[in-house]
């Protein structure tokens, strides 16, 4: 049995280093995972660019980790060695803050954040809290499962918590999040509208299951949505506050704009459509481990898969840059073998 494993750690902002680390034993309530694949997510920038307050280096990024349990720590009774599991952004709630005490563990105010407060999946091995694990269905390849434990649950949960079958649901942005959002929306039984920038995305949007495509560069997307009767739900995935704010008038009365894409600029909101129609703007952040498992199971049931590009672990920096430059079609995944 090996005594070391390879990991890509960030030693200072934007400095990637491939290192050998000693294998450690999982502590109480933890498992050690032999990682098979790890997705590269835009939020990894928090660690890699050093944006996250209180971050300490070196840190291994990566919160779309899929692998097999290799060893189990004391007190873990519900997981077995050999099971294939996934770990997402939320590495475990503290169980004691007010949000946790009210049962809202996905909104824990003091959570373990994989790849930020603890080492993540850009590695051949990682330690994870047993309570943060999702079981991976046999039908999913590890590379396909990886983006589903972050981008997947983010869009899946936001959609299933805001719409009902038959609703008109618009997905803004057809990228890493949006290409999954369109598939989920269609498979959940929504009248699915994809909003992209330019005519070139129309073919893809239709292939992913969109009933209607709106080119937001050529037309006013909100006005186009109103021609369809207004959207009951708009899922905003594009990282542009101004683009997100401009969609508000496209909602039907009592409709909801659900924001999952983080942007640097503020979201400008016009109070008139907000008030006259009782429209809402809400945020949604990933979800609990069991909801990640729901996402994976639904993806098998409804044949939803991410579109991915893979690179080996040693090329993590290249994968990250490709994602940040918007060149990935649509999610980068690191493979460990």
Please, what is the minimum distance in Å from the beta carbon of residue 99 to Zn ion? 5
Q: Say which residues have a Cβ less than 8 Å from residue 327's Cβ, sequence separation at least 6.
A: none
Q: Is 108 in the site for Zn ion (CB under 5 A)?
A: yes
Work out whether the CA dihedral 59, 283, 152, 80 comes out positive or negative: positive
Please, what is the minimum distance in Å from the beta carbon of residue 275 to Zn ion? 34
3-state secondary structure 188-241: CCCEEEEEECCHHHHHHHHHHCCCEEEECCCCCHHHHHHHCCCEEEEEECCCCH
> Which residue of 23, 97, 228, 324 would you call a contact of Zn ion, by CB under 5 A?
97
Which residue number, 39 or 249, has a Cβ lying nearer to Zn ion?
A: 39
Of 128-187, binders to Zn ion (CB under 5 A) are 150
Q: Is 265 in the site for Zn ion (CB under 5 A)?
A: no
Which residue number, 22 or 103, has a Cβ lying nearer to Zn ion?
A: 103
> Which residue of 93, 124, 129, 143 would you call a contact of Zn ion, by CB under 5 A?
93
Q: Which stretch binds Zn ion (CB under 5 A): 93-101, 217-225, 245-253, 319-327?
A: 93-101
> Which residue of 100, 132, 158, 316 would you call a contact of Zn ion, by CB under 5 A?
100
User: Which is nearest to 84 in space by CA: 21, 37, 27?
Assistant: 37
Of 42-71, binders to Zn ion (CB under 5 A) are 43
Please, what is the minimum distance in Å from the beta carbon of residue 178 to Zn ion? 14
Is residue 328 a contact partner of residue 311, using CB atoms and an 8 Å limit? no
Which residue number, 200 or 325, has a Cβ lying nearer to Zn ion?
A: 325
Which residue number, 150 or 204, has a Cβ lying nearer to Zn ion?
A: 150
The count of chain residues that interact with Zn ion, using the rule CB under 5 A, is 8
Please, what is the minimum distance in Å from the beta carbon of residue 17 to Zn ion? 22
Please, what is the minimum distance in Å from the beta carbon of residue 331 to Zn ion? 10
Kindly list the residues in this chain that would bind Zn ion in the complex (CB under 5 A): 41, 43, 93-94, 97, 100, 108, 150
């Amino acid at each position: 049995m090996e005594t070391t494993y390879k990991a890509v750690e960030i030693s200072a902002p934007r400095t990637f280093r491939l290192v050998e680390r000693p294998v450690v034993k999982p502590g109480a309530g933890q498992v050690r995972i032999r990682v098979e694949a790890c997705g590269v997510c835009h939020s990894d920038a928090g660690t890699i660019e050093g944006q996250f307050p209180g971050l300490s280096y070196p840190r291994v990024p990566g919160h779309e980790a899929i692998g097999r349990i290799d060893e189990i720590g004391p007190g873990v009774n519900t997981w077995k060695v050999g099971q294939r599991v996934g770990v997402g952004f939320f590495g475990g709630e503290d169980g004691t803050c007010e949000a946790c005490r009210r049962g809202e563990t996905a909104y824990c105010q003091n959570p373990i954040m994989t790849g930020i407060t603890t080492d993540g999946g850009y590695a051949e091995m990682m330690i994870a809290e047993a309570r943060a694990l999702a079981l991976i269905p046999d039908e999913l390849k590890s590379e396909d499962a990886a983006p589903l434990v972050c981008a997947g649950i983010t869009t899946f949960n936001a959609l299933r918590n805001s719409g009902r079958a038959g609703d008109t649901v618009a997905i803004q942005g057809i990228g890493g999040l949006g290409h999954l959002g369109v598939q989920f929306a269609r498979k959940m039984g929504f009248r699915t509208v994809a909003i992209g920038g330019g005519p070139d995305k129309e073919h893809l949007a239709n292939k992913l299951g969109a009933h209607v495509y709106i080119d937001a560069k050529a037309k006013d997307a909100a006005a186009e949505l109103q021609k369809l009767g207004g959207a009951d739900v708009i899922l905003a995935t594009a990282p542009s506050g101004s683009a997100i704010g401009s969609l508000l008038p496209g909602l039907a009365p009592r409709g909801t704009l659900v924001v999952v894409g983080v942007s640097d600029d503020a979201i400008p909101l016009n109070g008139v459509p907000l008030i006259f129609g009782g429209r809402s703007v809400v945020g949604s952040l990933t979800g609990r481990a069991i909801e990640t498992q729901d996402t994976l199971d639904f993806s098998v049931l409804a044949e939803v898969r991410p579109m991915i590009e893979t690179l080996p672990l040693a090329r993590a920096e290249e994968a990250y840059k490709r994602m940040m430059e918007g060149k990935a079609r649509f999610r980068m995944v690191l493979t460990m073998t």
